[in-house]
Chains A and B, each alone.
Chain A
Amino acid sequence: MTEVMAIIRMDMISKTKEALLKANFPALSCMKVLGRGKKKVDFSLIENMLSGNDFTSPTIAEAFSEGHRLIPKRLLSIVVKDDEVKNLVDVIIAINQKGSPGDGKIFVMPVIETIRVRTGESGELAL
């Protein structure tokens, strides 16, 4: 068993869920997280936006854009059988890939055991 953890854009969650359902991966857990990646965010865009308004001083824009900002993201966690991993990763990449930094990351991790609480059955039977 393998856990696929994907961190994706906030607004892509419904499209991703739809695509996963179509690809026969209905089960998933997701949560709202904050994060940052390897690349520094280009806050000059925000500064440009703000400088268009007369009431915002550049110092505010500076304070706003400085430091280690975290960006809201969605984290999906899906546990699947080993032979389904490739397919699942492809589905997530296909729907989320816009080609710009910030599209997200996918991590594939081993899972040692799965247990269904309702029946107590374990292993792949419980997936």
Chain B
Amino acid sequence: MLMIRAIIRPDKVGIVLSELSDGGFPAVTKMDVMGRGKQKGVKVGDVFYDEIPKEMLMMVVNDEDKDDVVKIIIKNAKTGQKAAFGDGKIFISPVLEAYTISSGDNQL
């Protein structure tokens, strides 16, 4: 199992969530985060913002579903053909076990 953590633009959350749902991956957890990237934030006029609001989507999937999920997120979280800075990042990390509390089952 793999945990996929995607940090995306807040205005892309709606489309990404509905496309994930349509793609057969409804289970997701979302949280508000603030962050900056390699570009050290954004400069608007004279004001420098080094913490930009983003949304983090977190989902745990089976190994073979990883590519599909990543593809869906990238396709829908991108802004335009010329990908812009700040579209986000996707991090993937291993998960050893998953439990469903309601049944106590040791599976996803």
Contacts and interface: CB of A to CB of B under 8 A. Distances in A.
Interface of A: 2, 6-8, 31-38, 40, 67-68, 70, 73, 75, 89, 92-93, 96-110
Contact of A104 (B17, B21, B26, B101): B101
A70 B28 CA distance: 9
Contacts of B93: 109
Contacts, number: 84
A68 B26 contact: yes
Interface residues of B, number: 25
B26 A37 contact: yes
Contact of A92 (B21, B97, B101): B101
B28 to A, nearest CB: 6
Nearest to B57: A35
Contact of A37 (B3, B27, B95): B27
Nearest to A100: B102
Contact of A109 (B29, B96, B104): B96
